[in-house]
Structure 1
Amino acid sequence: MNTEQILDSYVHDVARKLPRGKRNDIAFELRSLLSDELAARSRSEGRQPDRAMVMSLLNGFGSPTVAASRYHPLPAVIEPADTHHFLLWTIGGSIAISLLSVLGPTKRVEGAPYFQWLGILVIVFAFIGLWRRANPGVMRWKPSRGLDWMPRPLALLALVATIVFPFFMYLAPQTFVRVMFFGAIPDHGVELTEPFRTSPLRLATISVLSALVVLYAIVLVKGRWQSWINWSFAAAHASLGVLCLGHAAAIEPRDGASMIAMFEYADANKVAAPIFALTGALLILCALYEGYRETTRIRPSPARVDG
């Protein structure tokens, strides 16, 4: 190939990586630029252009992919600004999948769900980036009140909701069903077995739920979050998550029987086991996120000067 053919080949490969509507114009501009640069180099060196001179010139421009990106930068599938959240969702989802796999019917962790979760995240974040580029300025920053903001009405709502669900529901499921559904639904299906009523698992769960009620009451009185309260919630949610996983492992029927039957009605145990497993996994993720927020809390202060 002579020098002109090499330049034409390079320009062609660059243009193929550009949007169709821009190819011809940019190819013409790039071909003219390369010809001028090659002629200037030939005059500077006092010799006719050859293959070595052309390749040296093109090496300075970079590969066709690099050169094309200068004319039309391609957006990343996951934008750099979203990398942090992508990693958090990836790690959190992987933890949840691991917990649910261990407690699932197969009791085995397989690789397919992880790749499926990763694929879903890539598609979701790609669409987020696409929407953001198509609507510049729409996703504007809005000021937040910080981690410690908690209005009393919202704290009261959280306290009442925690007392009703899950505390009251777990403490007396039959009464809960009668009250919430006005007696329209039979409650015998959620009758607790006597061994479960006095089991350490249930007593520990009631204790943790009581602690959550107390914590929400403290938040209501103070009208704000505090670091020690956030850490207490993280510990309570982690403990409750582990206890929920313990429920799932204990009440799931194995070989026709459970380690400890929660309900007198056998089918209720079959339904409750996966619900407890999912709830436990979500609570542990919630606790990890709460701990992460506290460990990354911003406390503006001047940098320490050594010496």
Structure 2
Amino acid sequence: MTPDDLIRSYVDDVARLLPRGQRRDVAFELRTLLADELAAKAAETGRPADEEMARELVLAFGRPADAAARFHPVLTIVDPADSRRFLRLTLIGMALIWLLGLMDTVLRHPVASASDLPGVLGILWTGAGVGALWWPGLLVVCFAAGAWLRRNRPERAAWKPRRTDRDRISRFGYLAAVAAAVCGLLVLFNPATLLDYFYGGRAAPGAYQALALDEDFLRHRAPWLVAVMTLHLGLYAVLVVRGRRQPLTRRIDIGLTLVMCGVLTWLLPGGDIFAAEPTDQTVKGVIVLIVVGSLADAALKARRELRRAAYLPAA
């Protein structure tokens, strides 16, 4: 292959990657540029241009896709500045989906022996394993929409300062959370009151049986759950009085959240929570979601605490 043929082949590959309206002009410009550079290189080395010299020239110029990008803006789906955050969210999201899938699979298909493990892993892979791929696709769409917004509506994507005092809390919001938690505990340990409230004491006997708690749970495991929730509600009461978070209360909150996740996780394989199996399975599924969400919240709070410690000036 002659040097001219090699350059022509390279230019054709570049032109094919460009819009039709630009191909002719860019091909002529690029062919002229490469021919001039090849002639200058031949004059510098003192020998005629050959195929090897032309190959070195086009390889140094870059792949055809890279060369085409210099003449025409590339379509950017995820902005380079967002690539690290995109990767982090992708890994965290897929890990959470796989964790939820693992817990759900183990609850629905308990591993009684080593022979059951391959079947459970197969169910996990065909379910949450492959199913988790929807998350990266959703992120691509969201990040692409954000990139389009920044390019076409820069005023809407302009930087805005965050609120300076992040430790100030909403007393009303925390009081509402405490009230909701207390009501939830009362309903959990006496669900008949909820049915009586809505049905005036005329609910079907099956409804009462569906919400009946397991006796073993009430005797051995429920006290631990109540104790941890009481500690958490006490912390919220302190925050309501003070009106703001402090380093100690932030760290206690993270610790209590982890303890609560540990207790809830301990409840799952420890036996039935409700006497009726459908209710018990539904509640355990909700507990899995609560544990995963609480762990994610604790991880974000711990990360924020580490950042605060890194930003504080040395004593």
The bucket for the TM-score relative to the shorter chain is: 0.7 to 0.9
Secondary structure of 2:181 counterpart: helix
Q: Which range is displaced more, 87-96 or 210-219?
A: 87-96
Task: Provide the C-alpha distance between the structure 1 equivalents of 2:248 and 2:88, rounded to a whole number of angstroms.
Answer: 26
- Determine which of 136, 143, 148 is the counterpart of 1:122: 136
Mapped to 1, the partners of 2:236 and 2:199 lie a distance apart of 26
Which residue matches 2:219? 198
Q: 2:187 aligns with which of 169, 172, 187?
A: 169
Whole-angstrom CA distance in 1 between matches of 2:309 and 2:14: 46
Is the Cα contact below 8 Å between 2:189 and 2:213 reproduced in 1?
no
Looking at secondary structure, tell me which structure has more helix per residue.
Answer: 2
Aligned residues: 292
Instruction: Confirm whether residue 294 of structure 1 aligns to residue 305 of structure 2.
Output: yes
Question: Is structure 2 residue 172 aligned with structure 1 residue 158?
Answer: no
Partners of 1:286 and 1:214 lie apart in 2 by: 19
- State the 1:90 CA deviation: 3.5
TM-score (norm 2): 0.78
1:43 offset after TM fit, Å? 3.3
Over 3 Å counting, the alpha-carbon distance change for 1:184 and 1:120 in structure 2 is farther
1:244 aligned partner: 264
1:180 positional shift: 6.3
Deviations 1:75-112 (A, max 9, x none): 36574252333333344434333333333325434334
Query: 1:9: Cα distance to partner?
Result: 0.9
Tell me what 1:255 maps to.
none
Q: What does residue 167 of structure 2 align with? A: 148
Equivalent-residue separation in structure 2 for 1:297 and 1:86 (angstroms): 25
Deviates more, 1:55-64 or 1:75-84: 75-84
Q: Aligned partners of 1:303, 1:40: CA distance in 2, in Å?
A: 60
Residues in 2 aligned to 1:160 and 1:149: alpha-carbon distance in whole angstroms: 20
Could you give the per-residue CA deviations for residues 216-259 of structure 1, whole angstroms, max 9, x where no partner exists? 11111111222332332223222322333333323xxxxxxxx4
Is residue 100–residue 288 contact of structure 2 (8 Å, CA) maintained in 1? no
Indicate whether 1:98 and 2:102 are aligned.
yes
Q: Are the aligned partners of 2:232 and 2:253 in contact in 1 as well (CA < 8 Å)? A: yes
1:24/1:106 CA distance change after superposition, 3 Å: farther
- Per the alignment, residue 44 of structure 1 pairs with 44
Distance change in 2, residues 1:301/1:280 (3 Å)? closer
Q: What is the CA distance between 1:190 and its match in structure 2?
A: 1.2
After TM superposition, the structure 1 = structure 2 runs for residues 12-31 of structure 1, keeping only pairs within 5 Å, are: 12-31=12-31
Per-residue deviation, 1:173: 2.4
Normalised to the residue count of structure 1, the TM-score between the two structures is 0.80
Structure 1 residues 48 and 218: CA distance shift in structure 2, 3 A: same
The amino acid of 2:298's aligned partner reads A
> How far did residue 184 of structure 1 move?
7.1
Distance 1:181 1:68 in 2: 71
Query: Are 2:232 and 1:212 equivalent residues in the alignment?
Result: yes
Q: 1:280 to 1:27 in 2, by over 3 A?
A: same
